[in-house]
Amino acid sequence: MNPPRSSLLGLLALALTAALAAERLPIEDFSREPTTARAQLSPDGKRLAFIREARDKRTLHITDIDQNQVYVIDLGEATLINNAQKQVMDFAWISDHRLVISTLVWEKIFYGVIATNWDGSQGVPISGAEDNQINMSIPRQYYHEVIHRFYDEDQTVLMLDRHEGGNVGSANRPDILHVDTLTGLSHVVVKNPGEVVSWGVDANGVARLGILSHGELSGAIYRENEASSWKTILPLMNRKGQMRAVGIDAASGKPLVGALTPERRWTIFPLDPATGALGEPLLADPEYDIVQSHNSPEMDGVALAGTIFSPKKGALIGIRYYTDAPRVKWFNKDYATYQAALDRALPDTVNLFVNASLDGRRMLWLAFSDQNPGTYLLLDLDKHKLTPLATRMSWIKPAQMAPMLSVKYKARDGIVIHGFLTVPVGHQPKDLPLVVMPHGGPWVRDVWGFDPLVQLLANRGYAVLQMNYRGSPGYGEDLFEKAHRQIGKAIQDDIEDGTRWAIAAGVADPKHIAIMGASYGGYSALFALGRNSELYGCGISLAGVTDWPAIYDNRRSDPDAKEANRYWRREIGDPDKDQEVLKAISPVNFADKITAPVLIIQGKDDHTVPREQAKLMISALEKTGRPPESLFISELAHSYGNERQRLQIFKAVVAFLEKNLGPGVP
């Protein structure tokens, strides 16, 4: 894989390679949905399944590669929820002819699972509301994660059951089910003993490793085969970091776990099942995690951090990991050769292995970059041929897109913050109007790659600064843990320090800086406008939290948010004990400090950050005599929505910035 263009502190003063100024492109070019997304090759290598938006909802399409025919899978409507469109969340091939498909409503809320043949025939409900068409109040099976495919005639799979009630698994202590996708019937094959948070399954579909967790304690159980009894090989104790099951390597026969190095970086270790001792790490980096403790970054559905096993034998053949860009370490010489060949043929892109047919003769790859949304390619070893199958956004011309530079700066307490700076085409990173864009989460991270909104802003002449503040996974456990109860405090300092770094480095015109973000990023924007009013000329919040006590109250009765609520109480604050702290970090309570123009964008059907949060902020700003601009979008949940909704958002963002920040550089 090819690394991105990087820019260290000293290099920012250098001019970028001269380029022709990009023309002002239609906003529609950036808001359009990819025509091919999350593609996967079938086990026989004959068909490609992918997601495409149709009639404002994501649907599953199947292409017969050799016949060049496309089929659309009709999954029907969400019959139990008013005004909610059912869409495809994810899917998995389980045989040459059959798929398991997860569905959702309101773009975020799990609806159910259905199994179907590739042509849409023999549809069978598996779980969730798909399997309960009577009353949503009835406890329903909640499983959608396929953890093993048998590729057998009975079309069976193993799935995790995370149902909260009854005598089956729980959200964080799942049982393992054997599911017949032709009948929809299932039974428990491994009952959780009570403390197992993740399972390791071998190539034959036998669960052999269970990782235990209880508070700060962790451990492991193991068995040699299905007939053996479980044995505790690592008793529960404080190991200065949790472990997680990664898989069973068929080549060595050893289980693999994710754990911390002495430098407190996450990576992959072989585990001796006899002694419980960890072997030498399979791959390590002094600065970055190899696997992620939370929320692994993805590129169009492909995890950018984790193991790659051979499709049939289950041997470990490679590890994907993420530093300042996607990278891979191949242990299999053949795959290393294929990677090198693609990198030579396509030197301007990161060339990502997606999946392969069971016989390994056909492989699906995705070539993408910061300026290129990506193309799916088929590598056919029998024909010695590399063929483009589908371009994600064919109307985007990479030469017209802006480069995304990797940057670092020091926060006020000395820790290093990584980030990305996107500079308009044809311009040096000097005296530019700047949009600071902290990510949501906050326990996720920004990654290098094509971002339509960032590219739209760059096309309009604005530089964009994104930072992975403390709490962003991938940079070691210490940086992640430094975010504990630091919302509105040190996390916000990191964002402010990034803005001041851009000014000191000469990148930003200090009189023309805006801040914007979505979800937690929207909260950060509002907080920054009140705390650092002198820094920002204007700000935009999309679905941002504005009143922490109120949003806790809103979520108390939501059974699907139990675990999230527990996490929030631990990492943000307990509303029963920390009410005053939560009030102090809520932007509604210091609206009088916000003097710059504000745009608030909110989905009317957002069930994560409900629209009442936006209304509270609007009311608070109106009372100061400085009412914000606002945009409430129908049928929009907690996301940028479908193509039509995204166009509304992008148009509003551009118009607001041009009015209040001023025009970008030519």
pLDDT tens digits, residue range 489-524? 999 999 999 999 999 999 999 999 999 999 999 999
The beta strand positions in 469-618, using DSSP E, are 508-518, 538-542, 598-603
Homologous superfamily (CATH) of 9-26+397-547+586-660 is: Alpha/Beta hydrolase fold, catalytic domain (3.40.50.1820)
- Strand ranges in 428-573 using DSSP code E only, listed in sequence order: 432-436, 463-468, 508-518, 538-542
Secondary-structure percent of the chain, ordered helix, strand, coil, rounded to 5 = 20, 35, 45
Q: What's CA 621's distance to the chain center, in Å?
A: 33
How far apart, in whole angstroms, are the C-alpha atoms of residue 407 and residue 153? 52
List the helix and strand counts (H, then E) for the chain: 11, 36
Can you give the pLDDT at residue 294?
77
Distance CA 424, CA 664 (A): 9
Let me know: does 409 contact 466? Beta carbons within 8 Å.
no
Q: Torsion-angle region of residue 135: left (phi > 0), alpha (psi -120 to 50) or beta?
A: beta
Q: Give the residue among 283, 195, 211 at the shortest CA–CA distance from 245.
A: 211
The 10s digit of each residue's pLDDT in 426-451 is 999 999 999 999 999 899 999 999 99
Annotated domain spans of the chain: 9-26+397-547+586-660, 34-391
Nearest Cα residue to 218 out of 255, 259, 248, 256: 259
Say if residues 438 and 518 touch (Cβ distance below 8 Å).
Answer: no
Is the pTM of the predicted complex or chain greater than 0.95? Answer: no
> Residue 83 has what pLDDT?
62
**How do 302-303 and 298-299 pair as beta strands?**
antiparallel
Rg, the chain, Cα only: 25
The C-alpha atoms of residue 95 and residue 72 are separated, in whole angstroms, by: 18
Give the residue among 28, 30, 70 at the shortest CA–CA distance from 50: 70
Cβ atoms of 372 and 360 within 8 Å: the answer is no
The region of weakest confidence among 122-126, 197-201, 561-565 is 561-565
Q: What is the pLDDT of residue 18?
A: 38
Residue 110 burial by Cβ neighbours in a 10 Å radius (0-12, 13-18, 19+):
middle
Q: Are 621 and 615 in contact (CB under 8 A)?
A: no
What is the rounded CA–CA span in Å between residue 363 and residue 351?
A: 12
Distance CA 616, CA 21 (A): 42
**Rounded CA separation 102/95 (Å):** 16
Q: What is the CATH number of domain 34-391?
A: 2.130.10.120
| pLDDT single digits (tens) 69-78 | 888 988 877 6
List, for residues 528-552, the tens digit of each pLDDT value: 999 998 999 999 999 999 999 998 8
Q: What is the mean pLDDT of the chain?
A: 90
Dump pLDDT digits (tens) for 266-301: 999 999 999 999 999 999 999 999 998 777 889 999
Structure confidence at residue 168 (pLDDT) = 45
* Gap between the terminal Cα atoms of the chain: 34
Q: In whole angstroms, what is the distance from residue 514 CA to residue 499 CA?
A: 10
